[in-house]
Amino acid sequence: MAAPIVKADIPAQQASENTPFEDLDLTAYFQSDEALSFQASLDNGEPLPLGMTCSMEGSISGFPGDATQGQYNIIVTAENASGSVQANFQLVIAAPVAAEKEEVKAEKIDEPIIIAPSLLKEIPAQVINEKAAYGPFTLKDFFSGENLHFHAELSSGQALPQGLICTADGILTGIPAKGTQGNHEVKITAENSAGKIEATFIFVIKPIPVSDHDADYIAKLKAQVWEALEQRLPIPDIASLYEQSITQQDIAYLLDRWGFLAIWDAFNLEPLSEKRPLVLEGASPHYDIYDRGCAIVACPKDLFSHERTIEDSLQTARAVAREVYKRNWAVEITGVAKMTRAAWVEVQHLGDQYGKPLEVINFTPRPDDVKIYVSQSMSRKSGG
């Protein structure tokens, strides 16, 4: 593996104050054999102009705020496990044309005067675990004002913890990534054409309750039973096992055995609808698959079936991935690790096959996942 390289110069971009900026996909300008993460800032190290953000997946978007007019030199850093590379481009933000402002003013002379936003009540502290779904949390409930646009960052000026996003219309949501634990002070900026206001609150992210090392606990319980069977000793008293307290490790084992997968339409904020059975080509007959409107969910028909294998889980994950690709969703993939990885790899293959990558948010593939994807891609190209 090698550090990323710049594949092509990033062209100059134009934007206007208080006008949505069309997403700029940075991945088209870099080449890497490994998964990339992106950062962008001004050449003096300061954040992007107010209202604009750069996601770790490499998309620059936003809504340039008032008084952002000017020419900026943007520095983009693309990084993988082997190193990083930088590239720059020019961003020009124009102010609204004065004549257009006068025309709009004349058209809206009878409309009520826009009042600067104000804080209605303090934003309460929020608590969530790493890798747990959070939100949607509606920030509009805490501010007064019309035509508000929102921006969120840490009070230190850094971006929100990985996996969390704040939309321009004031929805805070996401899945905090592993390693984001801590007490974070979040600063919210609400603004409209008449002014802006800032408010802060504490966002607590707790570590994942069950660590990878807790698998030893389950292995120990299994070993006790197998040792008794192999040496023809009495099997441990089942009654004593029933008397033991249920632990987080027990629950984690059951969840892994459950083999659950849900792929979400990431920007569909509607609640889950009534479940509608789906029959997908290539899915295992040992799974039930349901369309819930904003998500497709797959779960085993029989939790402890000895006939269901890991291959059944992987086949089903790939079938669900193909279905959401047909629907052209921007997706969040949740569930058992083996199935989420299989779904991510399948989505990458579909993007290669049809020349249209599917946006996957809040998911960082492991190096092993990337190796599987690259190996399978090479095999497919060679006809193997």
Q: What is the pLDDT of residues 83-126, one digit of tens each?
A: 899 999 999 998 875 544 445 454 555 556 788 899 999 999 99
Rounded to an integer, the average pLDDT of 130-154 is 90
Q: Express each pLDDT in 2-20 by its tens digit.
A: 889 999 999 999 998 988 8
CA-to-CA dists, residue 111 to 65, 104, 143, 144, angstroms: 22, 11, 21, 18
DSSP 8-state symbol, 292: -
| Share above pLDDT 90 across residues of the chain, in percent, rounded to a whole number | 50
Nearest alpha-carbon partner for 179 in 166, 163, 165, 203: 163
Mean pLDDT within 236-244: 58
Distance CA 372, CA 361 (A): 20
Superfamily of domain 5-94: Immunoglobulins (2.60.40.10)
Please report, for the chain, the start and end positions of each structural domain, with discontinuous segments joined by +.
5-94, 115-206, 259-382
> What does pLDDT average to over the chain?
85
Total-model pTM = 0.39
Q: Categorize the per-residue pLDDT at 134 as very low, low, confident or very high, splitting at 50, 70 and 90.
A: confident
With a cut of 60, say whether residue 214 has pLDDT above it: no
What's the full length of the chain, in residues? 384
Domains 5-94 and 115-206 equal at CATH topology level: yes
For the segment(s) 115-206, the CATH number from 2.60.40.10, 2.30.40.10, 1.10.1060.10, 3.40.50.150 is 2.60.40.10
Query: Which amino acid is residue 252, in one-letter code?
Result: A
Rg (CA), the chain: 25
Q: What is the mean pLDDT of residues 289-318?
A: 88
264: confidence class by pLDDT, cuts 50, 70, 90? very high
